[in-house]
Amino acid sequence: MFIKLFMLVIFFGVMLWIGFLCRRNSTDVSGFVLGGRSVGPWVTAFAYGTSYFSAVIFVGYAGQFGWKYGIASTWIGIGNALIGSLLAWVILGRRTRIMTQHLDSATMPQFFESRFSSSSLKIAASVITFIFLIPYTASLYNGLSRLFGMAFDIDYSICVIVMAVLTGIYVIAGGYMATAINDFIQGIIMLFGICAVVYAVLNSQGGFLAALNGLAAVTDESVSSAPGVFNSFFGPDPANLLGVVILTSLGTWGLPQMVQKFYAIKSEKSISTGTIVSTFFAFVVAGGCYFLGGFGRLFSDRIDIAANGYDSIIPAMLSGLPDFLIAVVVILVLSASMSTLSSLVLTSSSTMTLDLIKGHIVKDMNEKKQVLVMRILIVIFILISVVIAIVQYRSNITFIAQLMGVSWGALAGAFLAPFLYGLYWKRTTKAACWVSFIFSTAVMLANMLFRGSFPAMLQSPINAGAFCMIAGLILVPLISLVTPQPDRVTVDNAFACYDEKVLVRQSRQLADGDR
């Protein structure tokens, strides 16, 4: 117990110290929300990766999908690395940084307002962001607190409150810069931690090959009658596995807290370095989490799914580890959760302040007032999510994966297509954005309230979310082609940034006529 508590105290102390150290960088809106658009490549890459993966992945998704699909769940982590990280940086990184700076946008709703000349789009996007980030935030507390309960036997409510207070302090104090630097430190912990945990768990089963052989012997007639299905290439249910890959990988392209990382990129070097680093990070962390979860059925003697749900699988797998490794696991998941939580509360508070309150509710807000309101809203957002997390836990409403599925499905389904096409295609219209917003939020709300009425394949919020994303990518261009063309002056102004000439060294680009 002393080892665990000592490591926690050191961890929390460093996080808070960085928060107060970064106060001088968070005195204005640009500094508080984007770190002055001067965040280096490694910090940006780790900020992206740590905001991507949290206790929802490690405890909720890894446990549930590892149990359902066996070792094939590793494909989810591979998809996260290739689609959610590599392609996201290549396709969105540079163009997002260039256009958002050109349009002076600090949030995704501000981008929609400036790109499509519509304040109503900005308001709608800010409301959708605030509402659907709350269930995701609540799911973070749930996953983390299960591990704390296993390691320390501490009441769930205390775990939730402590995590919320500590995260709130360093975000309120240091803004985006404190969040990004802490993300870098937390990311290092996650990289080493997941490697150590995977090795220890497999070693407890006699090593990798022995664990694979053990998994091959596991049968479950309710899932599949095929022998060795849980250590097969695509597992027992490839169709539903694909839905998880789409939601958790393509979904990052439309999540405000993820895309906003590109706004803060410092230079061209940050893009190339960030692409490599974030992809490697995702391979190790996401791949390691789902790979670990794939062996969950080897611990079935410790797990009671009917009584405790899928969220109990990973804690049960780790409960037999030595105290030092359990402490590492707690710090690992704490790092993942606090980094994601800090990103969520900062995104939500900045969106509400800059996109809803400023200019609509309060007409005159200077920089100082805006930063103050954002700090107040961080407190309010954390309080709301804490209450929901505790109520959800007490009433056992749903699983972590379902909470995240509803949140990701609504947000990414609503924003992915309008944002992507808005960066690349001049013909994208305001009407198409509205269709995407309304369609995805309506589908996910209906899925949450009337799930039994949906077709069997779409009753899962994960599949419903993946469906919304794919549908948005089809609907936006179709609606754009049948609705009036956008104002040419507005569009030309937005895309003019891509045509601006910049000087580069010859090491980067040969001059015309060079041989």
Q: What is the pLDDT of residues 98-146, one digit of tens each?
A: 898 889 888 888 899 999 998 899 999 988 988 888 777 777 776 666 6
29-46 pLDDT per residue, tens? 777 776 666 667 788 888
What does the alpha-carbon distance between residue 127 and residue 100 come to, in Å, rounded to a whole number? 20
Q: What is the CATH number of the domain that holds 346?
A: 1.20.1730.10
Count of structural domains within the chain: 1
- Give residue 448's identity as a one-letter amino acid code: M
What does the alpha-carbon distance between residue 288 and residue 445 come to, in Å, rounded to a whole number? 32
According to the model, what pLDDT value does residue 400 have? 54
Instruction: Kindly state whether residue 478 falls inside one of the protein's structural domains.
Output: no
Q: Which residue has the higher pLDDT, 441 or 395?
A: 441
385-421 pLDDT per residue, tens? 788 777 777 765 545 556 667 888 899 999 999 999 9
Instruction: Kindly state whether residue 511 falls inside one of the protein's structural domains.
Output: no
Please say if the pLDDT value at position 159 is more than 80. no
Instruction: Kindly state whether residue 464 falls inside one of the protein's structural domains.
Output: no
Instruction: Kindly state whether residue 486 falls inside one of the protein's structural domains.
Output: no
According to the model, what pLDDT value does residue 514 have? 47
According to the model, what pLDDT value does residue 360 have? 66
- Give residue 274's identity as a one-letter amino acid code: G
What does the alpha-carbon distance between residue 246 and residue 237 come to, in Å, rounded to a whole number? 15
Backbone phi and psi for residue 266, each to the nearest 5 degrees, phi listed first: -85, -45
Most confident listed range (103-117, 298-312, 362-376, 434-448): 434-448
Instruction: Kindly state whether residue 476 falls inside one of the protein's structural domains.
Output: no
Q: Which residue has the higher pLDDT, 74 or 22?
A: 74
According to the model, what pLDDT value does residue 431 have? 96
Most confident listed range (98-112, 145-159, 331-345): 98-112
398-407 pLDDT per residue, tens? 455 566 678 8
Q: Which residue has the higher pLDDT, 145 or 249?
A: 249
What does the alpha-carbon distance between residue 218 and residue 330 come to, in Å, rounded to a whole number? 29
Which pLDDT band, with edges at 50, 70 and 90, does 311 fall under?
confident
Identify any residues that bridge with 358 across adjacent strands, giving them in sequence order.
Answer: 362
According to the model, what pLDDT value does residue 13 have? 84
Q: Is the dihedral of CA 41, 42, 45, 50 positive or negative?
A: negative
Instruction: Kindly state whether residue 442 falls inside one of the protein's structural domains.
Output: no
What does the alpha-carbon distance between residue 318 and residue 322 come to, in Å, rounded to a whole number? 9
According to the model, what pLDDT value does residue 510 have? 47
Instruction: Kindly state whether residue 71 falls inside one of the protein's structural domains.
Output: yes
According to the model, what pLDDT value does residue 310 have? 78
Distance of CA 269 to the CA centre of its chain: 24
Please say if the pLDDT value at position 56 is more than 60. yes
Instruction: Kindly state whether residue 425 falls inside one of the protein's structural domains.
Output: no
Residue appearing with tokens 């320390």 = 152
Residue 373 belongs to domain spanning: 2-398
According to the model, what pLDDT value does residue 508 have? 57
Please say if the pLDDT value at position 367 is more than 60. yes
